[in-house]
Chains A and B, each alone.
Chain A
């Protein structure tokens, strides 16, 4: 069978890592870092999401075809958010300086 099988140890390490990152991101959120707070919070969430997808959902061990589907989903989302925000920003509808 071409089924990805991971050891229990890997699952437990991934889980401990995820709990650790939850603690880290929550503690960082108590400090006011201005605009960087959101960047760090989303960044850590993205790392946690790829750990869940990679290990618990075995994405790191899947075939190229499955990785392509995952990449398509992520890229589709990035295209949508980039074009939407690009539109709002260039029209000056968002309270950012410089426009």
Chain B
């Protein structure tokens, strides 16, 4: 039995299909947990936005829509690159897996760079909550609350991106040393699931933080 066949069906499983399904259930339950974590934040955001609708619109108008929409496109493209990596993994083409994993990581890093540029701009404009915040409008406190949600939620998302890049780096290493083959490449598919999930979170973050203030 070759090494990849052993990895594809470890001794506690009857068939590779059973092993994959078991792993798959575990991965999706983990993602359901992630939905719970982000879900609580989205619920809190909804309550505050419903309580302070004008302030949240004004706060949202301070977002840099150019960087925000470029970041959305970048993240969607990184997900496409990772799907290509998964496709190459199913064909067992290690060179292509490595290439697309590297492209995904580079695009992810550019996303983070733009995100931190935005954070820097918010600090410069005294929009970061706490001692840095300075706003003379009558809605100042509620606007500050908008920025609390903005920094916590996009920050948690950025942490997920950093972890994601780490996971992809691990997958890249395992691809280079030859562990990933056409028979066994489940880790690449699951790394992909995580990355795509983080993408979904961003789609909603974009909708709730960048879009509400555009019409002002």
CB closest residue in chain B, given A88: B47
Bound-state CA distance A76–B43 (Å) is 12
Residues in chain B within 8 A of chain A (CB atoms): 16-17, 20-21, 24-25, 28-29, 31-32, 35-36, 39-40, 42-43, 46-47, 50-51, 53, 65, 69, 72-73, 76-77, 79-80, 82-84, 87, 90, 189, 192-193, 196-197, 199-200, 203-204, 206-208, 210-212, 214-215
The reply to whether B207 and A25 form a contact with Cβ atoms under 8 Å apart is: yes
The reply to whether A26 and B69 form a contact with Cβ atoms under 8 Å apart is: yes
Residue numbers in B under 8 Å from A63 (CB-CB): 21
Residue numbers in A under 8 Å from B21 (CB-CB): 2, 63, 65
Q: A15-B76, A85-B50 are in contact. Are A29 and B211 (CB under 8 A)?
A: yes
The 28 listed contacts between A and B (C-beta, < 8 Å) are A5-B90, A18-B76, A19-B76, A22-B206, A29-B214, A30-B215, A31-B215, A42-B204, A44-B207, A45-B206, A52-B200, A53-B196, A56-B79, A56-B82, A63-B21, A65-B25, A69-B29, A70-B32, A76-B36, A76-B39, A77-B43, A81-B46, A85-B46, A85-B47, A93-B51, A94-B50, A95-B51, A96-B50
Bound-state CA distance A41–B24 (Å) is 31
Choose among A3, A44, A95 the residue that contacts B90 (Cβ–Cβ < 8 A): A3
Measured CB to CB, the closest approach of chain A to B201, in angstroms, equals 9
Give the A-B contact count at a CB cut-off of 8 A. 137
Bound-state CA distance A45–B50 (Å) is 19
Can you add 9 more A-B contacts, CB < 8 Å, to A11-B87, A22-B69? A3-B90, A11-B80, A11-B83, A29-B211, A38-B212, A42-B207, A42-B208, A56-B79, A69-B25
A-side interface residues, number (CB < 8 Å): 50
The reply to whether A57 and B192 form a contact with Cβ atoms under 8 Å apart is: yes
Residue numbers in A under 8 Å from B206 (CB-CB): 22, 45
Q: Which label, helix, strand, loop or mixed, suits the secondary structure of the A interface?
A: helix
Bound-state CA distance A71–B36 (Å) is 13
Write the A73-93 contact mask toward B (1 if CB under 8 angstroms, else 0).
Answer: 110110011001100100001
Residue numbers in B under 8 Å from A70 (CB-CB): 28, 32
The reply to whether B207 and A41 form a contact with Cβ atoms under 8 Å apart is: yes
The reply to whether B17 and A69 form a contact with Cβ atoms under 8 Å apart is: no
Choose among B17, B32, B87, B193 the residue that contacts A1 (Cβ–Cβ < 8 A): B17
The reply to whether A94 and B51 form a contact with Cβ atoms under 8 Å apart is: yes
The reply to whether B16 and A1 form a contact with Cβ atoms under 8 Å apart is: yes
